[in-house]
Each structure stands twice: as C-alpha cells, then as structure tokens.
Amino acid sequence: MRVIVAGLGNMGRSHALAYHKHPEAEIVGLVNRSEVELPSELQGYPRFASFEEGLAQSPDLVCIATYSDSHADYAVAAMEAGADVFIEKPLATTVEDAKRVVEAAVRLNRKLVIGYILRHHPSWQRLITEARALGGPYVFRMNLNQQSDGPTWETHKALMQTTSPLVDCGVHYVDVMCQITDAKPLRVSGMGLRLSDEIASDMYNYGQLQVWFEDGSVGWYEAGWGPMMSETAFFVKDVVSPKGAVSIVDGNKGASDDVDGHTKVGGLLVHRPDGDTLIDMPGEPGHQELCDAEQAYMIRAISENIDLTRHMNDAVQSLAICLAADESIRTGHPVDLGDLT
C-alpha cells in the first residue's frame, strides 16, 4: 500500500516508523509544513511541504497526524482522492465536521480508523473486561494532568490555539467509559480555567468534565497542561461499581508529560468486598509498539474489509461528549447530549 504521512510531530513520526517496518506498506511521502529532524529510518523518504503535494503521489493510504483543525478537510480530501485514512484523535474540532468525515467514508466506501491508541493496549483491554465483569452502574474517576515545560509546553500552546486539553486527551478516557458502560450518554457539565497568559485568551489549560449515562453511571475526567500543573495524583484511573472497583495502581509512572507513562498500566487492583486481587501486567507495549499495532490494524482493516461502523460512531460519540463539556465551560450551563450519532 502506498502511504503518505501528514504531520511529523511525535505521533506522526511514530506512525511513519510503523509504516516503515510494515511489510505491506510503502511510504511514498512525508508531509510537514516546516523542516523537522527525523530518525535515520525516515530520512530517505520524499518530503513535501503541503498536503496537496502529498496527495499528488497517488497514495492508497493517508495517515493524518497534523493539528486538529486540519483533520476533517484533509481526511475528506484524501478519501475523495481514493485513499483510505488513518487519522489521529480528535477526529475533528466540531461534531459537524466529525460527522462529515464519517459520512464521506461511508459514501465513498473508504476505511477510516481513528487513533484511539488505548483500544490496542492489552492492559487497557483487560481493565475494561474486569470492570464490565463487575457490572454497573459505574463511577468513573479519571484524569491526565501534564506538567509540561520547554518544547512540550510549546507544543501544548500550539495545540491550544484550536483544541483544549480536555478535548485532546479526554476523548481517549471518555471512550473507555463508554466501552465499559455501553449506555447512552445523557448530559455533560464542565468547568475550566485559564492558568497562563501565554495561551490564547479564549482557551483554558485546565478543565474537568462530568458525564451522566442512561444506566445511572456517572464519571469525571480532568486534564491540565502547563508548567504550573501539579504532579501529585496526575494519573488517576479508577472504575467503581456496586460490586467493587478496578484501579490502575502502577506507582512508577515517570514524569507527567512522559508519553509512555500515559498508556502504561503496570498493574490492576480488582477490589471486591470479600478481598482484593492484584493483576500484574508485565511486558506492556511501549508507545512505538502501540503505534505499530494501530497501523497493523489499519492495514488489516483494508485488506480484510473490516466493518468499521461502530468504531467510527464511537469516535464521534466520545468527541461529542468532550466538545459538549467544552461548551458547558464556555456557557456555564450543562449540555444535553441528545442523539450523538
């Protein structure tokens, strides 16, 4: 499969390395608006400064890892050019654009996979399985706060020109909540605060959402970026039910802006009133291995014609929940979710 990768930041480079190693992929172009340093494995591939130049290489598969505000237009253009698409989360910056991308995939009979990396992580799959075995309704307690500085803070400030940390990171963990409860989300409220004058005046760098589900489940998620963020309890992943709880208990998470630590589980504590069970998760995949797994799934979805309807609808749903929280923060009122998909 002829592949182009658009966007050569952290995720784009990792996806390009995954295609470089995959026997069924041939990279025909790497796209980035500016010159960036690449690992030695990628230095021999053609480089292009515009997405249009990349599409002119007639790719079979386009990987989009650019900033969020370009996702929808790039994805639709790629599919209209005859390519299947892998796109980093969030799928788009509005629900309308997210639906537009999914509708294009259906209309054009193209494969669309969204970069929900936790769906490819065996430890997170186990967490979901253990939580579902307890039975609901559930309380979800989750966060990911990043004490970022230097180049990471610069990246976060660039992302916040269009996307809040609550949306950018929240789609992963809201998706986990939705997989566990499998119930319709009803409404969302949110609160947020701008803690730095270095970011856009209408953007907050700390936010929390609260979501209610039809089965009675409730959950919260918080995310903050910046040098002011605390690293105390920056990584909470906890699911509580009437029969007990499942929690990530790895105490060696590293720094809060360490990308490998964001997916690492280490161990799960399954608590029931009659006793606790600690499940060790040795040999967990690192960030690059997870990107390899994502792209292997993308290629398999094409070659085996996997039905991605639920995958696409789930991506729209988790994005809609996070964007509703963003709306709640800006308006000061809860948001009824209605029919998301």
Task: Fill in the amino acid letter for 251.
Answer: G
Q: pLDDT tens across 327-338, in order? A: 999 999 999 998
Contact 118, 124 (CB under 8 A): yes
Q: What is the pLDDT of residue 257?
A: 58
CA 34, CA 14: separation in Å to the nearest integer? 18
Nearest to 124 by CA among 277, 234, 237: 237
Tokens matching residue 337: 């979710």
Q: pLDDT tens across 270-307, in order? A: 999 999 999 998 888 999 999 999 999 999 999 999 99
Q: What is the pLDDT of residue 265?
A: 73
Q: pLDDT tens across 35-44, in order? A: 899 999 999 9
Judged against a pLDDT cut of 60, whether residue 116 lies above it is answered with yes
Where b means 16+ CB within 10 Å and e means fewer, 158-183 reads ebbeebbbbbbbbbbbbbbbbbbbeb
Q: What is the pLDDT of residue 171?
A: 96
Q: What is the pLDDT of residue 258?
A: 60
Q: What is the pLDDT of residue 341?
A: 46
Mean pLDDT of 161-171: 93
Q: pLDDT tens across 124-159, in order? A: 999 999 999 999 999 999 999 999 999 999 999 999
Q: pLDDT tens across 33-66, in order? A: 998 999 999 999 999 999 999 999 999 999 999 9
Tokens matching residue 163: 């996307």
Nearest to 144 by CA among 248, 6, 19, 273: 248
Half-sphere exposure at residue 205, Cβ-oriented, CA atoms within 13 angstroms = 25
Ranking 152-166, 194-208, 246-260 by mean pLDDT, the lowest is 246-260
Half-sphere exposure at residue 178, Cβ-oriented, CA atoms within 13 angstroms = 23
Q: pLDDT higher for 224 or 261?
A: 224
Judged against a pLDDT cut of 70, whether residue 187 lies above it is answered with yes
Q: What is the pLDDT of residue 252?
A: 55
Contact 6, 63 (CB under 8 A): yes
Judged against a pLDDT cut of 60, whether residue 266 lies above it is answered with yes
Judged against a pLDDT cut of 70, whether residue 259 lies above it is answered with no
Domains along the chain with CATH numbers: 2-115 (3.40.50.720), 120-288+320-336 (3.30.360.10)
Q: Report the DSSP pairing between strands 139-146 and 61-64.
A: unpaired
Contact 220, 321 (CB under 8 A): no
What is the torsional sign of CA 317, 69, 8, 204? negative
Q: Which residue has the tokens 């599409």?
A: 55
Calculate the average pLDDT of the chain: 94
pTM: 0.93
